[in-house]
Amino acid sequence: MSQDRSSQLIRVLIVDDHPMFADAVSALLTRDGRFDVVGTATQSDEAVELAEREEPNIVLMDLTMPNTDAVDAARRLREAWPRARLIILSGLDEDELERTAREAGAAAWLSKDEAHTGAADVIAAVAAGQHSV
């Protein structure tokens, strides 16, 4: 891939404690052609390190992970790499998901049930500044 094309891709970091789910979302986004998945993390500490090193445009983060609070993890990610826009991902009901996404300062939220059909378009819209919670 040429440098020009790769520099135009939306850089995405996926944070989810279920590696199989993260790998599936990564494969989906990679096939789309608009995205460069720069890493996956299973814990917030790992996500912060990856964000600092890989400089993603978008962080797609699961709301519920062991040993972490989504709002705190989001704050730490924004401190590590403030240019990244956060999208919260969860299997929770929509009202709880939307409330917590707002508290976390997320630009958008996605239900895990919708991830396979809607993630790519939501991520692209958030990266373009056309979507917010």
Q: Where are the domains of the chain?
A: 3-127
Each residue's pLDDT tens digit, 25-75 = 999 999 999 999 999 999 888 999 999 999 999 999 988 777 777 778 888
Q: How far apart are CA 117 and CA 39, in angstroms?
A: 21
- For the segment(s) 3-127, the CATH number from 3.40.50.2300, 3.40.50.2000, 1.10.443.10, 3.30.300.30 is 3.40.50.2300
Q: What pLDDT does 66 receive? A: 75
Q: How far apart are CA 31 and CA 39, in angstroms?
A: 15
128: how many CB neighbours lie within 10 A of its CB? 11
Q: What is the pTM of this model?
A: 0.88
Q: What would the mean pLDDT of 21-26 be, rounded to a whole number?
A: 93
Each residue's pLDDT tens digit, 81-114 = 888 999 988 877 677 777 877 888 889 888 888 8
Q: How far apart are CA 117 and CA 107, in angstroms?
A: 19
131, 69, 133, 64: which is closest to 98 by C-alpha? 133
Query: Could you give the C-alpha distances from 91 to 55, 56, 63, 68, 84, in angstroms and in order?
Result: 27, 24, 8, 16, 23
What distance lies between CA 33 and its chain's CA centroid? 17
